[in-house]
Structure 1
Amino acid sequence: MQDYLRGVVTEPFTLCRPDDLPGTTRELSAAAALVRPGTRMVTGPGARRDLGALLAALGEARSAHDRGPVTPVGEDPAESDLNKANDLGFGILRVRGEPVRVLTDAALRSAAAVLDLAARNGAGFERTTWRRLVGGFDALLLWLADPGRAPAACPVPAPGERQPLEPGSALRRWIYGHHVFMVFSQGCSLSLACLRERAAAGDGTGAAAAAATAVRLMWASQGALSFAGDVAMEDYATEIRPTLMPPIAPPRMTGLHWRDHEALVRELAAARDAWQWLAGSRPELLEEFRSAIDSAYSAHRGVCASFVGDRSPSLLATSRSSRPAVAVLEQFHRRRLDMLPPSARRDGDGR
């Protein structure tokens, strides 16, 4: 683990490779009984009164859940150097184990980290975004426990107003926000794979359940990015930015090259026909998924613009390029939306 993470991340954050996730609802259903204790986070009596009660219920869920035996992946020829750098920079350890149990463990652990930070220092972004963030954990855990049913929405207690952060807390928010984003990326990839499989089988109910989960997780991704960037400019400049650049990080390191994000992009492209089929009976799900992607990429671009400005070059840029970071992100934004079928109700700018 990188030296600058010691004291911020106390132990590696374990995730399976996205390639190891199941691709069908049958495989997911076979593992559902293993993860059912994790749903106590959303069903525990009184867990939604306030953040303290929610944290206590979450602690019980983590104690009840067993991720099972895991072993480090080690050298993986399918992994890029940039992905290795991202994992190292954010304290992530890739493991082999039962992937749904490992994903559930990662969801419970990252939820506890985010809720604890919010309970201590509040949140400085919109309450709707906060509800989407916490609701993403609900959606993922409920769907993993019952993949044939669309996850219900649960009330979410709000944190207090954002308070000044103690030294090290800005980097902690940045790290944990990205852990959450990786969890939601894996969950969204899994739900899109199941959407494709259920659509191919002509199962409208199962396809709609997977699609509704993907919608909730994409909205939650917007919340994860907002949480990661919920720090003051001076804290970003002193605690976070140096960890993203040489000599600490390799040149051109970016989360867009993380294999979890790359796997999600592949699933977005592969699910186009499934979304088209489902839109014949449930057009509102496609419309909301397009809106959620739009918001998630806008949140990423907004974080970038807030900290490095509209004209600063991207970390992706070569030494001979001065292309602004926000322009790079906007290009990715448009490409992702173009992977989906057009909405039956286009908005004002033609999307």
Structure 2
Amino acid sequence: MSNRNHNLLRIGITLGDVNGIGPELVIKTFLDGRISNQFIPILYGSSRVLNIYRKVIKINKFHYNVIQSADQAVPGKLNVIECVPDLERVDIGKPSEIGGKAAVQALHKAIEDAQHQKLDGLVTLPVNKAVVQQFEADFTGHTEMLAKAFNVPENLMLMVSEELKVGMVTNHVPVKDISANLTVNRIVTKGMLLHESMIKDFSLQKPMIAVLGLNPHAGDNGLIGTEEQDIITEAVQKLQEAGVNAMGPYPADGYFGSLTYRKFDATLAMYHDQGLIPFKLMSGYTGVNFTAGIPFVRTSPDHGVAYDIAGKGTAHTESVRQAIYLAMDVFRNRSMNAELTENVLPTTEKGTTEK
């Protein structure tokens, strides 16, 4: 749902952990007023927190518009919805119960507005899962919370930059449990989500997808593990049978080291660090975490709360900016591709177009 009056997208932003770098990122991002003219930004958080950080990082002038609901948001300014009216204090650079509670309150309000189509996309700033779980016991991440809210059984964690797009078969799984979590069906499901996202969200007609192995040298024909022979190869074959341009499994080190990834539109990694380490090395501060497979557009910067630099004025805003731009791009791509699909004329049994 876009803003019909202004023809600008409404992008929600959750403040994240109020003790981390989230507030600083918001202030520094929207100091340049030109960004607020490209869309309607709606921050779910606390104006008091913004004022505290503004003084700490020595920003004299920072303007925003306090509103009661997303319907009141206007272009040209950062719009702030007060989600934490009872905030007692901010412990900059330290995890705290208050930080967890504030993050949960902002996230719930943003998701509620997303469900009621008051937002076109959502950018979630980083939280500390441990402190959030003190108030939301079953919280395992933004992705899982959004998937539950939109009743989606499967989704894909997809890291996006200009250089690389990497999806993960397993996300936050201990290394010792990765192999047990790999099945043919799971790899096929994630591969299909990656394929569909490339078409629907990135407007690639026939995306080429590389599938990585799990073991060193992709198992070396069973000498260093059999997951490639027993599971991954079969999954690649099933993806191919389903019409996906998938190839692999590739040894991860050689795949990235020899720049083979440049021949593909996207990469499917077996586990978190296998995909995230090369991604972050190549992407620097420009990487974005995108949740593929849910009906609502959600992105996030590819870093954490960074307590160690909170309040020091040194946090980089590029990943936040890229997360905002990607959310807008994906929303527009989905809208355009949905419209194109709706306008396709049906065909007869002989393959001729009906008139």
Give TM-score scaled by structure 1 length: 0.25
Which structure features the higher share of strand residues? 2
- Structure number with greater Rg is 2
Give TM-score scaled by structure 2 length: 0.25
- Higher RCO (Cα < 8 Å, 6 or more apart): 2
Which structure features the higher share of helix residues? 1
